[in-house]
Structure 1
Amino acid sequence: MDVEANTSSASAADKIKSRSNASLAERSIAHGENDILGGENVDQVLAAKMTLINDAIDEIGFTPHHWKLFCLNGFGYAVDSLILLIQSIISTQAGYEFQPGFSTGLTIAVYVGMLVGAIFWGFSADIVGRRFAFNVSLFVSAVFTIVAGASPSWIVLGLFICLSAFGAGGNLVLDTTVFLEYLPSQNQWLLTLMAAWWGLGQLIAGLFAWAFLPNYSCADAASCTYDNNMGWRYVWYTSGAFVFVLSILRITIIRLEETPKFLLSEGKDEDALRVLRNIADKYQRPCSLTLERLQACGMTSQRRTTAARMAERLIDPREVIFHFKGLYATRKMALSTTLVWFSWLLIGLAYPLYNVFLPSYLASRGAQFGDSSQYVTWRNYAINNTCSIFGPVLAGFMCRSPWFWGRRGTMIIGALVTMIFFFCYTQVRTESENVGFTCAISFCLNIYYGTLYAYTPEVFPSAHRGTGNGVAIGFNRIMGIVSAIVAHFADTKTAVPIYICAALYIVMALVSAVLPFEPYGRRSS
């Protein structure tokens, strides 16, 4: 009888405790009504804890730690655009030397590398964490970028470009994820501003081309040798050295700890709190969150234990399925995920058609205007890429203003204005018009692109953010491969790609208008 009474008493106590935890979780969720995914709660305990973590991050506020992250994560943006554009910049001169059978092979190689990198690093970020990819990916890219300059053949060059892009493209998945998961909610607009680093990478690529190609390049395939065509190799060596310096800065300026939101999703409440307390103590900011408050919401499963277990999870297909299901947990989340991925598919076709093949188009336009010299071509290219830096800067301020309807409104405006300039560009008749309109397109295009980069991680749940980001950018890379194949069989020196791009931006604006979530004034999970 005593045993039965004790058992009954324990059972009752457990039920009371369970109801109490559920009540705490519900109150925390109610307090987090302003969270973007606040009404889409699947795991109430995790949602309640995320609300408390968001409150703590807001309480600590913006610190020098966040400025360091802004720059260090921005390096990834710069390197991604740098590697992407360098292969298109040097492909003509490398082609003169190697005389390949498939002219756009390097473009396919860079997009394949970025596709595999985005998928691999994206999935691994949700399984083994963000920190490893953040520290390693730029170094991987730097090594193969340097080695690419010494390539003895077209195939070997394509291989090293692919491996370099594997690091750069995978790194890009983590840039927005890591920065967002440390950001106070009132500063989330900085995620859009960070895309200015993308334009800086383009500018650096253009400056390297301007510095080396006009002076160290052969004139045509008939006269081309290793010795009189070193310019494209110098571009790779210099770019690789630049990326290597950035990779060293990443591990010396800041010792990145795992993001508190990832630790929370792994059931490591104590570690998540420790990371936040370290930042608060270092910069003398308040942090009133306690472990007791986190644990009072209930317990989430601690899914990661040993290194061997992490390796098992990395190759376990059930892990992939788990994270995909998390992105489609509710009808509204499923619609959002699908539309975001579709947006990346569209920009993945439009962007390469215009930007990756812009050098050949600029050269052909220059020939019409009476000056097709490499100096003028790469000068114009550098000027064009300088303008692309300021598109995300304007987008960042538009995103934080109610006058432009938040992120979705900024993307709609960016896409429609870009479309108008694309149509206008087909009527260019002078050199000054050529430079002016390409600069305007680069500026406006990056209003949309920069905002999409920021919007994507904001509307994904933190436990599945790496997967969602990785697949989104993966779709982008797939369409880059398609555009390279199309370019091989089509004439990119005509205005046809411009018309196609303009039409695609109309569709992008329509998709932006029906996206179900608006992050303006709300917090990411």
Structure 2
Amino acid sequence: MDLESSAGGLAEAMDKDKATSKGPSSPSLGERSIDHGENDLLGGEVDRVLAAKMLIVNDAIDEIGFTRHHWKLFCLNGFGYAVDSLILLIQSIISGQARLEFQPSYATGLTIAVYVGMLAGAIFWGFSADIIGRRFAFNVSLFVSSVFTVVAGASPSWITLGLFICLSAFGAGGNLVLDTTVFLEYLPSKNQWLLTLMAAWWGLGQLVAGLFAWAFLPNYSCSDAATCTRENNQGWRYVWFTSGAFVFVLSVLRITIVRLQETPKFLVAEGKDAEAVRVLQDLATRYNRPCSISIERLEACGASHRHETTATGMTKRLISSKEVVYHLQGLFTTKKMAISTTLVWFSWLLIGLAYPLYNVFLPTYLASRGASFGQASDYITWRNYAINNTCGIFGPVLAGLMCRSPWFWGRRGTMIIGAMITMNLGFTCAISFCLNIYYGTLYAYTPEVFPSGHRGTGNGVAIGLNRIMGIVSAVVGEAADTTTPVPIFICAALYIVMAIVAGAFPFEPYGRRSS
């Protein structure tokens, strides 16, 4: 697939309004200063020197505009979204068949394993993104996930399966941290709404998982624990093998379609002004776009506090625990940022509990009330499962359009609407569609309101809190009474709280530029 040629028209179309909207009185890039940065979301919330440099970088990115490179990043970072949802869903899909074969004592062990791996991955890749850089995780994480996904299919025992699922999830778990960060830090300000649209890849990953299940489980699965053996229960293993091969292909595409360079905002945050200028000028030259940024303009802003305190070099920073503390403190530098960081993390905590609990309790609860789930045929069951997962693709598409329109009060309004509608709808496809409006917008909103120098850390902690609640939900699902309606009402109440929290967010990125 030639992404450059296929995306050419879109890139040109997205840039058409740029030339016409810029009036003759608009200051040029060379005339801009920090006093013109009132449209930058965190301009007054971070180090003044760094804010001045980020203003210049933002101007340069806006000057270059949306190119085919951005379209390729949209797809390649979207692969990470797809793999995250693929790994999460596959373990739940195959769990029933694996239990028949291994007959474990703890039925939700695989769920705990996948969330532990996701938690470790979010923290590891998140902090490394701010300490080592974005490029390393972008190039390596999917490959790590693909290797252990394939190996999981050959597991000889329940414990071994849980271990390899955990390691596979570790590789995949950093992608939600990195994908939004990398894409956002290259995006022109007027195209930041695409960050919400990118969450459609999450639904695509769910669809792929459903299709693999539909292809293998009906024909290669046992139906009774007493007679279930490895030989007559190969379907779940085929799902893992195929998924691993699929993830491996995606990891290869990441390093062949685009040779990612460190994002200019990360380089500036690290005091590497010359490298940031080179990256931006290379991008402009490749696509024949103007770019008037210069090293002299960046150096004229002075040296940021970060640059002065890290002059001893990268090696010392990597072995210092102070580095982690520095990035955490950077998320609480002002009262407004502290409130924003706390509320964003709290939102991830809530959705991390509500969504898995809903999936754990609803099927059993409805079954206890006499609800019927499809036909007796496994073929029909998994066909319907794949169709249902298709609905999750379109929620972020609607969310992206809503985020772009002032009629829905920007990102915060979109999340309020998504949470409230999810609370009130009861059909599975509708839930999948509406929940992804909220989820997709929260994924986009989170990196937008973190400063670039600490964005990986903020994202990593947020996703990590989400994974912790996934572990809690698995334990609750194993120990609690799944026939009572109370957990369903609790989930609905959590969505109400999420809507309230979204309304209390102090920053609204609509029409503003991220740092």
Residue 503 of structure 1 corresponds to which residue in structure 2? 493
Residue 72 of structure 2 corresponds to which residue in structure 1? 68
Shift of 1:372: 4.0
Asked if residue 376 in structure 1 is aligned to residue 380 in structure 2, the reply is yes
Pairwise mapping of residues 184-223 of structure 1 onto structure 2 (< 5 A)? 184-223=188-227
4+ residue segments displaced more than 4 Å: 302-306, 356-367, 491-496
Shift of 1:354: 2.7
In the alignment of these two chains, the number of paired residues is 485
Shift of 1:350: 1.2
Contact preservation (8 Å) 1:366, 1:372: no
Asked if residue 346 in structure 1 is aligned to residue 350 in structure 2, the reply is yes
CA distance in 2, matches of 1:398, 1:55: 25
Structure 1 residues 303, 178: CA separation in 2 closer, same or farther (over 3 Å shift)?
farther
Q: Deviations over 1:344-384 (max 9, x none)?
A: 00000112123467776788789736734322332222111
Shift of 1:57: 0.2
Shift of 1:492: 4.2
SS in 1 for 2:464: helix
CA distance in 2, matches of 1:253, 1:150: 31
Letter in 2 for 1:205: A
Pairwise mapping of residues 477-496 of structure 1 onto structure 2 (< 5 A)? 477-492=467-482, 495-496=485-486
Which has the greater radius of gyration?
1
Contact preservation (8 Å) 1:26, 1:48: no
Identical aligned residues as a percent:
81
For structure 1, the residue ranges without an aligned partner over 5 or more in a row are 1-24, 426-436
Structure 1 residues 297, 27: CA separation in 2 closer, same or farther (over 3 Å shift)?
same
1:179 to 183, 186, 191: 183
The TM-score, its normalising length taken from structure 2, stands at 0.91
Letter in 1 for 2:105: G
CA distance in 1, matches of 2:187, 2:114: 31
CA distance in 2, matches of 1:116, 1:321: 18
Q: Deviations over 1:451-501 (max 9, x none)?
A: 000000000000000000000000000000000000111354665443222
Residue 51 of structure 1 corresponds to which residue in structure 2? 55
Contact preservation (8 Å) 2:204, 2:393: yes
Residue 465 of structure 1 corresponds to which residue in structure 2? 455
CA distance in 2, matches of 1:111, 1:311: 31
Contact preservation (8 Å) 1:260, 1:272: yes
Residue 20 of structure 1 corresponds to which residue in structure 2? none
Residue 156 of structure 2 corresponds to which residue in structure 1? 152
CA distance in 1, matches of 2:121, 2:183: 19
Pairwise mapping of residues 108-147 of structure 1 onto structure 2 (< 5 A)? 108-147=112-151
Shift of 1:311: 4.8
Asked if residue 280 in structure 1 is aligned to residue 284 in structure 2, the reply is yes
The TM-score, its normalising length taken from structure 1, stands at 0.89
1:522 to 489, 512, 515: 512
Structure 1 residues 358, 270: CA separation in 2 closer, same or farther (over 3 Å shift)?
farther
Pairwise mapping of residues 319-358 of structure 1 onto structure 2 (< 5 A)? 319-355=323-359
Pairwise mapping of residues 361-440 of structure 1 onto structure 2 (< 5 A)? 368=372, 371-421=375-425, 425=426, 437-440=427-430
Residue 37 of structure 1 corresponds to which residue in structure 2? 42
Contact preservation (8 Å) 1:192, 1:453: yes
Letter in 2 for 1:119: I
Structure 1 residues 465, 271: CA separation in 2 closer, same or farther (over 3 Å shift)?
same
| More displaced 10-residue stretch of structure 1: 248-257 or 485-494 | 485-494
Structure 1 residues 35, 499: CA separation in 2 closer, same or farther (over 3 Å shift)?
same
Asked if residue 226 in structure 1 is aligned to residue 216 in structure 2, the reply is no
Contact preservation (8 Å) 1:363, 1:372: no
Residue 104 of structure 2 corresponds to which residue in structure 1? 100
CA distance in 1, matches of 2:80, 2:369: 32
For structure 2, the residue ranges without an aligned partner over 5 or more in a row are 1-29
Contact preservation (8 Å) 2:361, 2:487: no
Structure 1 residues 157, 312: CA separation in 2 closer, same or farther (over 3 Å shift)?
farther
Contact preservation (8 Å) 2:184, 2:448: yes
| More displaced 10-residue stretch of structure 1: 53-62 or 286-295 | 286-295
Residue 257 of structure 1 corresponds to which residue in structure 2? 261
SS in 1 for 2:174: helix
Asked if residue 77 in structure 1 is aligned to residue 67 in structure 2, the reply is no
Shift of 1:257: 0.1
SS in 1 for 2:291: coil
SS in 2 for 1:200: helix
Letter in 2 for 1:482: V
Shift of 1:27: 7.2
Letter in 1 for 2:489: Y
CA distance in 2, matches of 1:492, 1:451: 30
CA distance in 1, matches of 2:311, 2:250: 32
Residue 16 of structure 2 corresponds to which residue in structure 1? none
Structure 1 residues 406, 369: CA separation in 2 closer, same or farther (over 3 Å shift)?
closer
Contact preservation (8 Å) 2:361, 2:488: no
SS in 1 for 2:258: coil
Contact preservation (8 Å) 1:418, 1:441: yes
Pairwise mapping of residues 444-463 of structure 1 onto structure 2 (< 5 A)? 444-463=434-453
SS in 1 for 2:230: coil
Contact preservation (8 Å) 2:374, 2:380: no
CA distance in 1, matches of 2:356, 2:274: 45
| More displaced 10-residue stretch of structure 1: 127-136 or 209-218 | 209-218
Shift of 1:201: 0.2
Contact preservation (8 Å) 2:44, 2:51: no
Structure 1 residues 363, 200: CA separation in 2 closer, same or farther (over 3 Å shift)?
farther
Contact preservation (8 Å) 2:360, 2:477: no
CA distance in 2, matches of 1:357, 1:149: 28
Structure 1 residues 323, 107: CA separation in 2 closer, same or farther (over 3 Å shift)?
same
Q: Deviations over 1:138-164 (max 9, x none)?
A: 000000000000000000000000000
Q: Deviations over 1:110-139 (max 9, x none)?
A: 000000100011001000100000000000
Q: Deviations over 1:208-239 (max 9, x none)?
A: 11111111111021110011100100000000
Contact preservation (8 Å) 2:362, 2:488: no
CA distance in 1, matches of 2:486, 2:122: 30
Residue 87 of structure 1 corresponds to which residue in structure 2? 91
| More displaced 10-residue stretch of structure 1: 108-117 or 353-362 | 353-362
1:161 to 143, 149, 165: 165
Contact preservation (8 Å) 1:395, 1:410: yes
Residue 17 of structure 1 corresponds to which residue in structure 2? none
Residue 430 of structure 1 corresponds to which residue in structure 2? none
Letter in 1 for 2:259: R
CA distance in 1, matches of 2:212, 2:370: 20
